[in-house]
Amino acid sequence: MHTWKIINGSVFTGDGWIDQPLLGTDNGRIVHIEMGHGPGDQHLDLQGGQLVPAFIDIQLYGGNGQLFGEHPSVRSLQATVDYSRAGGASLILPTVATNTNEVVYEAIDAVRHYWAGGGRGVAGLHLEGPFLNKEKKGAHAADRIQTPSVEAIQKILDYGPDVVRFMTVAPECFSPESLRYLQSMGIILSLGHSNASYGQAMQAFDQGIPLATHLYNAMSGLQHRAPGVVGAVFDHPAAMASIVADGYHVDAAAIRIAKKIMGDRLFLITDAVTESDEGYYRHIRQDDRFVMPDGTLSGSALTMRKAVTFCVEQVGIGIDEALRMASMYPARALGIAAHHGKIAPGYISECCILHPDGRSEIRVL
């Protein structure tokens, strides 16, 4: 076991702040954290920074010039992991937007090879599609959206049941049989790219779909006579939702309103893409966002740290809560909150240092 003396900075545990504690770790887990004046056998000098729980990003498509979601390979997956770690996220769900089954299979193979080679930081694959509503396709390729029959679901999941962890779906497009079958596969489902009515969305949440993907974007909006998916997300006491906090996907005031209503049910994703000039998903950078050649908003240029900063500086969310939105709450969404998202006994000892100059650094203690 190692006892770390944290100096020249503060530690956010997930519950509150501690100055210069002693942190005991063993075999990748935190054993104890306490105030103390002992020397410790290891020192971690934060140099004026903050030690916080490592972030978790459950939706992004690529990074560092490699678009994993369109051109999946171990190389593009590693580039995406590296991009995420530089932004404070130690665990991600690389995401494939609606595409051919062959591209999905390549992504599944890439994740398997990455794991087999000792790669860390990938919790599984997020398939955003292909079972979406064309009326809310956003930047997704309409000709690659599929009808969600049991057979179509089997073709994908039979290839990668060990890899596919999360799927964004439009439940109103499913038959009761196909939705029950998909739910039986043990994959985390999230309502998104959906034109469901308020009643349909509430029913989906009641029937066990726990989440909604990128709140406000590509879903039926809140209208006074038709509350839509947004109204159902606000109204359902158990529904969680991700949100893209960059000021382009969602206005800061809309994030603030959602946060007041939802509290700890709202969490951050980056929805990050990278430059790409070939394939179905050609992303062109405009300022701090990406668009398709026709101008459709297609992804963000966020890191998780940038999303946290936006929430604090532009939305008015306190730093403690913004950090939880990037760590503790996405851990809950993935069902791993017993050992990710806090700095506390029993939790993994992979943490994030937020340096005063804006850099983020993942450290295993």
pLDDT digits (tens, 9 = 90+) for 191-219: 999 999 999 999 999 999 999 999 999 99
What is the mean pLDDT of the segment spanning 290-309? 94
Whether the predicted pLDDT of 109 surpasses 90: yes
The torsion angles phi and psi of 137, rounded to 5 degrees, stand at: -70, -25
**168 touches 192 (CB < 8 A):** yes
Same structural domain for residues 33 and 127? no
What band does 35 get if pLDDT is binned at 50, 70 and 90?
confident
Same structural domain for residues 88 and 19? no
Residue 179 DSSP symbol: H
Helix axes 252-262, 228-235, angle to 10 degrees: 40
**274 touches 63 (CB < 8 A):** yes
Decide: helix, strand or coil at residue 242: strand
Same structural domain for residues 29 and 152? no
Is the residue at 339 inside a domain? no
- How does pLDDT run across 53-74, given as a tens digit for each residue? 999 999 999 999 999 999 999 9
Is the residue at 163 inside a domain? yes
Query: Looking at residue 1, what is its pLDDT?
Result: 85
Whether the predicted pLDDT of 268 surpasses 90: yes
Query: In sequence order, which ranges of the chain are alpha helices (DSSP H)?
Result: 74-86, 101-116, 150-157, 176-184, 198-206, 228-235, 252-262, 304-310, 319-326, 328-334
- How does pLDDT run across 8-25, given as a tens digit for each residue? 999 999 999 999 899 999
**232 touches 221 (CB < 8 A):** no
Same structural domain for residues 226 and 288? yes
Amino acid of residue 92: I
Same structural domain for residues 28 and 146? no
Same structural domain for residues 31 and 157? no
Nearest to 309 by CA among 300, 296, 318: 318
pTM: 0.97
What is the mean pLDDT of the segment spanning 297-320? 97
Segment holding 342, helix H or strand E:
none
- How does pLDDT run across 331-341, given as a tens digit for each residue? 999 999 999 99
**335 touches 277 (CB < 8 A):** no
271 is catalytic: yes
Residue 194 DSSP symbol: B
CATH number at residue 352: 2.30.40.10
Rg over alpha carbons for the chain, rounded to the nearest Å, is: 20
CA gap 183, 146 in Å, rounded: 18
What band does 287 get if pLDDT is binned at 50, 70 and 90?
confident
* Angle (CA) 246 68 159, round 5°: 125
Q: Find tokens 């306490």 and name the residue.
A: 34
Is the residue at 267 inside a domain? yes
**166 touches 58 (CB < 8 A):** yes
Domain of residue 22: give its range. 2-52+345-364
Q: Could you tell me which residues come within 8 angstroms of residue 137 by beta carbon, excluding any fewer than 6 positions away?
A: 98, 145, 193, 218
> How many domains is the chain partitioned into structurally?
2
Is the residue at 104 inside a domain? yes
Q: Rounded mean pLDDT of the chain?
A: 96
Is the residue at 148 inside a domain? yes
Same structural domain for residues 74 and 38? no
What is the mean pLDDT of the segment spanning 212-230? 98
Residue 92 vs residues 53, 170, 263, 329: alpha-carbon distances, Å: 14, 23, 23, 14
Same structural domain for residues 122 and 65? yes
Same structural domain for residues 34 and 64? no
Same structural domain for residues 197 and 319? yes
Is the residue at 340 inside a domain? no
Query: Looking at residue 202, what is its pLDDT?
Result: 98
Query: Looking at residue 264, what is its pLDDT?
Result: 98
CA gap 56, 341 in Å, rounded: 8
Same structural domain for residues 123 and 243? yes
Same structural domain for residues 318 and 277? yes
CATH number at residue 192: 3.20.20.140
Q: Find tokens 């532009």 and name the residue.
A: 314
Structure tokens, 100: 């051919």
Q: Among residues 82, 143, 158, 271, which one is catalytic?
A: 271
